[in-house]
Amino acid sequence: MAVRPEPGLIQRLDEIVVNRIAAGEVIQRPANALKEMIENSLDAGATNIQVTVRQGGLKMLQIQDNGSGIRKEDMTIVCERFTTSKLQKFEDLQTISTYGFRGEALASISHVAHVTITSRTPEAKCAFRGQYTDGKLKEPVKPCAGNVGTQITVEDLFYNVPTRRKALRSPAEEHSRIVEVVSRYAIHNASVGFTLKKQGESMADVRTPPGSSQSDNIRTVFGASIARELLEIDHEVKKLSVKMHGLVSNANYSMKKSVFLLFINHRLVDSSALRKAIDSVYQTYLPKGTHPFYLLQVSTPQNVDVNVHPTKQEVHFLHEESVIASIQEAIEAKLLSTSNSRTFFAQVCVRTTLTGEKLYAHQMVRTDSREQKLDAFLSRPPTASSSRQMEPQPDTAVVREGGADGACGLSSVPSKKLKPVRREIRLTSILSLRQEIEENSHPGLREMLREHKFVGCVTEELALVQHRTKLYLVNTHRLSKHLFYQLIMYDFGNFGMYSLSEPAPIFELAMLALDNEDSGWTPVDGPKEDLARYVVDFLTSHAEMLKDYFSLQIDKQGNLLTLPILLDNYTPALAGLPMFVLRLATEVTWESEKECFTTFAKELSDLYAVRRNVYSEYVASHKHHDSDNNAGGDARSSSSSCSQSPAVTWQWTVEHVIYPAFRTLLMPPKSLSEDTSVLQLADLPDLYKVFERC
């Protein structure tokens, strides 16, 4: 006979455990946290919302708006559970018109991350800042400078829930989910301006201006091909108290994966039943295996229960089947009324090869990456005609220049290049990192880069390349970061060095970086001078290792003397040197050898990566330099040479230095195939396909 177990002791859970369990239901990933904060900003009447993320929102997730702000007296309880300004009694749920209402968003976030809130109301003379952990203030709220509105910074998300953090996807995948959330709210709230970008990058992943239309934002986010094929639908069922406004694609447009944007009472939700119903309508009009694009905004006041899901991703409303059937009929009627406007394109183009076989136009490759070009025989890049020609110099050094206000400026001048005798590196950590690079290489991207044909520069950070019959838009900045990281690993301990024309004081460089808002310095971190001295002492103590491994030479007085040569005919963006010096002391993991080399290489590759506005700063610095050297001379000639020549030089460097290095040296990681670094714009065979259904 089985022995019955003793009844377990029922006891109350600790409040911290309860709160973290609740937080795990509301905040499942960074995109959920951002969704809650965007809704708070919209509830506050914001007309401009800026989002900045780092490592897919896991390291940092920041949102800033120009809404009504938070009063100082409310800052003490703003991160406690069930504190809200939108709900007073349970009956208010039936007519709730705001996004948030339970008061759980900020509370949940603060229990799984470090939260800093800076807010200012229109009538306040200054802003107030508070730091929160587990729903409580770490210290009293402090006054500070700030614009009207609220800035919320979430750092180290899920730092105390390691299992949840490990279960999340890669930072690139989490970032794509964040892009998806911001894009959908930007389209629905077209009157509000949205900006989303990664920390430290100038190019935004999402940018929509305030006061635009939904069609304009769809064009910005999803492309003009969708925007030009949209049908507008307005539908109302009075007996069900339901109104629907929609923008759906017509029969001329289709995609492999459905894009379904559903807002019910302005809430971004999902409905599998409604999705299937609409897909069944389009099956008659679209090729098999393809799907439409549709944005639906349903309004049904007093018939919706919004409190059925912790993340508010689902809602329940009365007469759901009747509402779905009504929407389905409205979309089908709209498609039927426009079916006679379908467009088809056809073109016949046949060629004959030497063997007599027919060669169709969509099989013809217009260019070949192996063909020889005339400029390959030139010893230097072509420059604009002027009295002073500038070109990429392998013998280039960094020099400090004192401005009128005593600021530290940086520019490039010829100097002596030193190269050590090559030695063999047998460090286990370096060999392991090299192996990781090779194992993580994407064979398809590697083949594409090895055989690509450079088409031209779009911007400093973007370029067009062709591979066989496909045209790609390539993010030069991102690929160059991986290129220089790999060069650091494979040339470890064998770098040449640029000798600095004048010693660059690390203290001054660190002070310049701390004055930059991207450094993240706050008064809580202590005086800037103390932090700068710490950077000097720290790097000076590691001077021997930095010189031996990375060709970064630092003297006993704390001056930077050399920079490593990672790629011939290429010098880094000098404007990033102050932040690089600061991050060496604060962001590199010096305790572990492998982690140290990895993080150091990432910071160094970030300094050397191709980025926007580098050459405009270079031109500006040389204009000032030439105006001093040519006093009383022909100023017009000097200005012409400075403004024209460098503009040609950076394009020459990208085409003849960076992309040839991509072709021969870069082993592109698999992440580049997932983070929009390489986008296919056109495929010649697809341009010749004709889709037609009877």
DSSP string, 555-590: -TTSEEEEEEE-STT----GGGHHHHHHHHHHTS--
The domain covering 15-206 belongs, at the CATH homologous superfamily level, to Histidine kinase-like ATPase, C-terminal domain (3.30.565.10)
φ, ψ at 334 (rounded to 5°): -65, -40
Which residues lie across from 417 on neighbouring strands?
498
DSSP letter (8 states) at residue 13: P
Q: Which residues of the chain have pLDDT under 70?
A: 1-2, 8-26, 82-103, 301-318, 339-421, 613-648, 685-694
Question: How far from each other are the two terminal CA atoms of the chain, in whole angstroms?
Answer: 73
- pLDDT computed for residue 436 by the predictor: 93
| CA–CA separation, 609 and 437 (whole Å) | 18
- pLDDT computed for residue 229 by the predictor: 86
CB 53 within 8 A of CB 30: yes
- pLDDT computed for residue 394 by the predictor: 37
Pairing of strands 48-54, 193-198: parallel
DSSP letter (8 states) at residue 394: S
DSSP letter (8 states) at residue 397: E
Residue 381: which of 660, 572, 649, 616 has the closest Cα? 649
Fold of 223-336: Ribosomal Protein S5; domain 2 (3.30.230)
Helix and strand tally (H, E) in the chain?
21, 27
Token digits of residue 620: 């500006």
Q: Do domains 15-206 and 223-336 have the same CATH topology?
A: no
- pLDDT computed for residue 488 by the predictor: 93
Where exactly are the structural domains of the chain? 15-206, 223-336, 432-616+649-673
Neighbours of 535 (CB within 10 A): 24
Residue 311: which of 104, 165, 460 has the closest Cα? 104
Residue 582: which of 481, 477, 508, 492 has the closest Cα? 508
Burial 450-469 (b: 16+ CB within 10 A, else e): eebbbbebeebbebebbbbb
Amino acid at 338: T
Q: What is the pLDDT of residues 67-85, one digit of tens each?
A: 999 999 888 888 887 666 5
Which residues lie across from 340 on neighbouring strands?
none
- pLDDT computed for residue 85 by the predictor: 59
- At 426 the three-state DSSP class reads coil
CB 263 within 8 A of CB 297: yes
CB 93 within 8 A of CB 101: yes
Q: For residue 78, give Cα distances in angstroms to 73, 117, 394.
A: 9, 10, 57
- pLDDT computed for residue 364 by the predictor: 59
Token digits of residue 455: 């088409």
| CA–CA separation, 583 and 581 (whole Å) | 6
Helical spans, DSSP H, in 362-452: 428-439, 443-450
